[in-house]
Amino acid sequence: MTHKKKYTLAQLAELLDAKLTGDGQCEITGLATLQNAKSGQLSFLSNPSYAGQLKSCQASAILIDEKFLDSCPGYKLVTSSPYVAFAKATQLFDNSPIPPKGIHDSASVDTSAVLGKNVSIGPNAVIAANVSLGDDVVIAAGCYVGESVSLGNACKLHGNVTIYHRVVLGNNVEVHSGSVIGADGFGFAFDGRQSVKIHQLGGVKIGDNVEIGAGTTIDRGALEDTEIGNGVKIDNQVQIGHNCKIGEHSIICGCTGIAGSVTIGKYCIMGGGSGVVGHVTIADKVQVSAMSLVSQSIPEPGMYSTGTIQSKTSVWKRNAIRFQQLDSIAKRLKEIENSTDKK
């Protein structure tokens, strides 16, 4: 079963908080790009680089900023934030399957579990003892929800998600396939001969309106909980170590690796493939560029980068040799400066 929806432009104007220019009774049945839109579809312009496509666009209407009105001949939904309005429109036209309510015959649900209203539990899912599921929770096929886990209202676990014991998810949390929440943090003490495991006695606490991408892992805390704040968005294949604290509305892009006991502030952005060493603190509103390594705390907002810029391999190799010579060059320069000062 899937969503089947259509809206008039008048309805969309109200739902998207936009000003309508055109026929309010015109029906919209879907969304499309400026280049590929057809009659009956809604498109949008957020990047000025695509403004040249407005005149040839065949969409029935376009979400657009007022400054581009003269370049757009058709019906318009005018808003100061077309991309945000587009994001809201995708929710209205969501076409993902609607899971059936109830518990599949092949699912295993412990008798001590407490289930809210309109819960959907898919094939071969396992719900362990003392689990609490809020209203409208969706547990897809093959998921495992461990002992004493709590899921708030409208949480959604896609196929084959694993939630270890004593993990708490707030309301409206979506976890994509293959993710693991609450596995042991990477903690060992070396006794001189071998590594002795530090058992992870904390849990994971995730706030409201969080989305977690496919194949992501969030480790449980050693003593206290690992914490993910409200509104955080985490991309695919991200590693978050034990006892990390991620501030509200931060964004963690794909393949980022965050070591244990890192604190990241609110409204931060960690670029794709970036990394953070353990036990550092990152202030609110920090943006770390892709493939950068944060090796020390960042106390002030702003954009931070590490590494070298892209160049031809032959040039990069020469520069790499120069990097190795910087210390000796600095020493020689200091000697020259000292001798010059004496003169």
**Using an 8 Å Cβ cutoff, are 266 and 283 in contact?**
no
- pLDDT of 149 > 80? The answer is yes
Q: What is the pLDDT of residues 89-146, one digit of tens each?
A: 999 999 888 899 999 999 999 999 999 999 999 999 999 999 999 999 999 999 999 9
Q: What is the pLDDT of residues 42-90, one digit of tens each?
A: 999 998 889 989 989 999 999 999 988 888 888 999 999 999 999 999 9
Q: What is the pLDDT of residues 171-212, one digit of tens each?
A: 999 999 999 999 999 999 999 999 999 999 999 999 999 999
* Band of residue 167 on the pLDDT scale cut at 50, 70, 90: very high
Mean per-residue pLDDT over the chain, rounded:
94
pLDDT for 3 equals 56
**Nearest-CA neighbor of 288 among 277, 303, 307, 299?**
303
The catalytic residue positions are 242
- pLDDT of 1 > 50? The answer is no
Q: Considering the entire predicted model, what is its pTM?
A: 0.90
Q: What is the pLDDT of residues 208-257, one digit of tens each?
A: 999 999 999 999 999 999 999 999 999 999 999 999 999 999 999 999 99
- pLDDT of 342 > 70? The answer is no
Bridge-based pairing of strands 75-78 and 19-21 is: antiparallel
Give the H or E element holding residue 333.
helix 313-342
CA distance 330 to 313: 26
